[in-house]
Structure 1
Amino acid sequence: MTFDALPSPYNLSDVSFTYLKATFKNRLNEPEITDRDLASFGLILSDGRLTYAGALLCDQYIVSQSRIFCTRWKHLTKGTVGEDALDDKEYEGNLLSLLENAEVFIKNNSRKSWGVSEMQRDEHEDYPHSSVREALINAIIHRDYQIIGSEIHIDMYPDRVEITSPGGMPDGSKIQALDISTIPSMRRNMIISDVFGRLRIMERRGSGLSRIIDGYNDFEVKPAFYSESSYFRVTLPNKNYSVQDTAVSSFVQPRVMLSPSEEKVLELIAVNPAITGERIAENLDVSLRHAKRLLAELKEKGAIQRIGSAKSGHWEILINMPGQKHQYMSR
């Protein structure tokens, strides 16, 4: 019997399954599932107690290991969160919400490379969505929830993202010594895997590791897998990190990293080069101080310059907007 099938100390009367039921309804377009369905899935026992799978999929945060810590680091190695982290979040709760929040964190801290080849605008993501999602699903479904005080860690560096989950390979082998293409599907948590399969979040057959690699079929550097007895790590390369500035075409400017807010400021300047900081703040619904900081950051990045005085001058954009021959990178 797998861990997620064992009885937990929690009862159905103490929890709710609103999130899970809504996910079933939204994804499958079927009538709302009942408590009887939950029992048939293996989430509730005949005496009303939850299995650990039920405890991990209910709305309440009652299993302390059901957490994901996410950090985006400035440099290629870890530092201290206070000084070296550009963004950090801690999520806790049911497994479906953890998956959603982790995906959003990676998306919000990723960029897209925009370029032009043969007069066509191309878009290149840092990380293939299919690979990210599959790596997160594998981490959530197949991790060891019996390791007290543990959680999944997502560490984003400029050149890669590392997803580390508690517990090694179920059979004790080391993934780095194996041929990925020959590894059969192994499930540490059978009930959780089954529920994710019913929701069509994961495929019931085949290895998710191969699907992680598939997103990099067009890229020289492939995902890496490493495991010890206490953890399993997937490393996804940033597909834009190693792209040369001249790779798209000979007249492409070096890529400039822009946040969504900075993009909006550029759009406002393009319409009205004489726009003031006050008007930018009003359009973005931010403080004047924040608007001035956005302008300062754009100047530092070489994206804009000020022509003339503060009162009578105007802004000049030094990079071309998406769809033109030059490119920038957006978060």
Structure 2
Amino acid sequence: MKIRELYPDVITEDTSYEYKAVLNPDSPIKWAKTLIGYANDKGGTVFVGVSNDGEAFGIDLEEVDKTKLLISRINDRHIFPHIKISYMMRSVDSNAEHFVLAVKVAPADSVIRYREGDYNETVFIKGDGNATPATPEEIISLSKRKYGVDNETSEVAYTDNQWSEYLNLCKEYRQDKSAPTIKELQNEEIVSKDGYAKSGFIMFSDNYSEDDTMICCRLWKGKNKTGIVLDSNRFRGSIANVFTNALNFIERNTKTGWVKTENGGRNEIRSYPKEAVREALVNAIAHRDYSISGTQIDVDIYSDRIEIVSPGSWLLPKDYNAYPAGSIPSIRRNAIIAACLDVANLMERGGTGFQTMIESYKACPDEIQPVVSIYPGFLNLKLFDRLYRDEVIELDLEGLTDGEKVLAILKMEGPKPIKELQMSLNYRSRSQFLNEVINPLMKSGEIYRDGKPKSPTALIKIKR
């Protein structure tokens, strides 16, 4: 009899099922590592009384009892924390004399180890058909998945001078421009009652240097990644610092247009609403999966859109498009990181970030509404350029000084080489253009040169 005749869902050994003829009491680690591997993953089942090729021959009732006692003894003496196990039996013969014993292991809430002696502990993880000792990197990743990346109490005491970047962020975005008190941080469980920072709050500290907070930003010439990269940067450090730097990168590399009003004035129109960009970036930081090593948030600015890609699966039961516009439920992957952003007035508890983005685009046609694309292991949020359309608002330079014209061109069209700016303003002499227009703007701190002064690839950019 094949095992699939007893358990139709079981076809072969994989990451969820394994076959054992018997469990050897003299070498328990050979089968106990499988139980541990299942507990450290999504759970699984070991079938005892089944050959490697899936033939279910079964074991008698006496052997079933011995096997249960053996598992209980090893779980009690060698597996820490103890794993949760349940059993099921199915007869393989008409007389009910032999049975396949299904040993079902539940996924554990913490990292499970096999202990031999006082100091020898091994963490096992499950592969396809086998369980192997975890590497240090795999243990770290496993620990983050089990405990969450941000909600453990650290041994680092909270002091204002070690979180100055975060406190400055709070002062910038909180309505009263104040820094949170330690009492407020404790009430939000960002800091423990005895004054120690939670692990998620550590990621906001000034000296944080791990790569898991990194945001990679790129400005592309064109609508895809086959074009030329006009500007790029990788921001590392505290979440407060990388958020500010990434936001500034987007600000200086996106366009601004103007439209005349009825009374002859001008109204500024941005390619991307500031609140939509901020909410999109905050959402990526708050909900990304920090347990996936070697990944980062990617911000790519194209001629017609911004794409913000963050690691981590979609947490809601339905697809993004299945929810009415502006009614995305709030599920927080990283509770402490989200709380830190909430205290800084950057993220609301009601989960209204998507609603804010939708509202900022409410006057726009359907084809440029924000879009969330869900892929295995990551999310892609797209914001579309409101000025990149057939009815794009033309840049009106009438009545502006030459310096104002340069700033207007850079805001509207992005970074440009000096030669192109010179041609736009009809200056014949490069030196005259530099002395009368560019150098004064650089001296006042409104623009800067990215690259060597005489390099043809050097770009003039707005400093924001």
1:279 aligns with 2:424: no
Which residue, out of 132, 156, 174, partners 2:301?
156
Give aligned-pair identity as a percent. 26
1:224 aligns with 2:371: yes
Counterparts of 1:1-331 in structure 2, within 5 Å, are 2-7=148-153, 11-12=156-157, 16-25=162-171, 27=174, 29=176, 33=180, 37-45=184-192, 50-79=197-226, 84-116=228-260, 118=262, 119-171=264-316, 173-220=318-365, 221-244=368-391, 257=413, 259=415, 276-277=432-433, 279-280=435-436, 282-283=439-440, 284-285=442-443, 290=453
- 1:100–1:243 distance in 2 versus 1, CA, 3 Å: farther
- Residue 122 of structure 1: CA displacement? 3.1
Q: Tell me the distance in 1 between the aligned counterparts of 2:179 and 2:332.
A: 27
Higher relative CO (Cα under 8 Å, sequence separation at least 6) belongs to 1
What residue identity is the alignment partner of 2:246?
A
Q: Tell me the distance in 1 between the aligned counterparts of 2:364 and 2:342.
A: 29
Q: Tell me the distance in 2 between the aligned counterparts of 1:292 and 1:59.
A: 36
Stretches of structure 2 that go unaligned for 5 or more consecutive residues are 1-146, 399-408
What residue identity is the alignment partner of 1:134?
E
What residue identity is the alignment partner of 1:20?
Y
- Residue 64 of structure 1: CA displacement? 2.5
- 1:293–1:105 distance in 2 versus 1, CA, 3 Å: same
Residue number in structure 2 paired with 1:324: none
Q: Tell me the distance in 1 between the aligned counterparts of 2:195 and 2:276.
A: 38
SS in 1 for 2:162: coil
Q: Tell me the distance in 2 between the aligned counterparts of 1:260 and 1:19.
A: 32
1:42-92 C-alpha deviation (Å, 9 max, x unpaired): 33446776422122121122443111000011121113xxx7210001011
Q: Tell me the distance in 2 between the aligned counterparts of 1:171 and 1:257.
A: 38
Larger-Rg structure:
2
Q: Normalized against structure 1, the TM-score is what? A: 0.71
- Residue 210 of structure 1: CA displacement? 1.6
SS in 2 for 1:132: helix
- Residue 108 of structure 1: CA displacement? 0.4
User: How many aligned residue pairs are there?
Assistant: 288
SS in 1 for 2:310: strand
Q: Tell me the distance in 2 between the aligned counterparts of 1:227 and 1:274.
A: 50
* C-alpha contact 2:259 2:393 (8 A) present in aligned 1: no
Residue number in structure 2 paired with 1:319: none
* C-alpha contact 1:55 1:62 (8 A) present in aligned 2: no
Q: Tell me the distance in 2 between the aligned counterparts of 1:240 and 1:51.
A: 43
Q: Tell me the distance in 1 between the aligned counterparts of 2:330 and 2:283.
A: 11
- Residue 189 of structure 1: CA displacement? 1.6
* C-alpha contact 1:28 1:199 (8 A) present in aligned 2: no
What residue identity is the alignment partner of 1:156?
I
SS in 1 for 2:211: coil
- 1:246–1:223 distance in 2 versus 1, CA, 3 Å: closer
* C-alpha contact 1:222 1:236 (8 A) present in aligned 2: yes
* C-alpha contact 2:204 2:238 (8 A) present in aligned 1: yes
SS in 1 for 2:217: strand
* C-alpha contact 2:417 2:456 (8 A) present in aligned 1: no
1:238-270 C-alpha deviation (Å, 9 max, x unpaired): 011114358899x9xxx98365997xx78xx79
Q: Tell me the distance in 1 between the aligned counterparts of 2:218 and 2:357.
A: 21
What residue identity is the alignment partner of 2:375?
E
- Residue 274 of structure 1: CA displacement? 11
Residue number in structure 2 paired with 1:328: none
What residue identity is the alignment partner of 2:387?
N
1:245-300 C-alpha deviation (Å, 9 max, x unpaired): 58899x9xxx98365997xx78xx79xx998246236534589x949979xx99xx
What residue identity is the alignment partner of 2:340?
V
SS in 1 for 2:246: helix
* C-alpha contact 2:170 2:345 (8 A) present in aligned 1: no
Residue number in structure 1 paired with 2:52: none
Q: Tell me the distance in 2 between the aligned counterparts of 1:200 and 1:109.
A: 25
SS in 2 for 1:133: helix
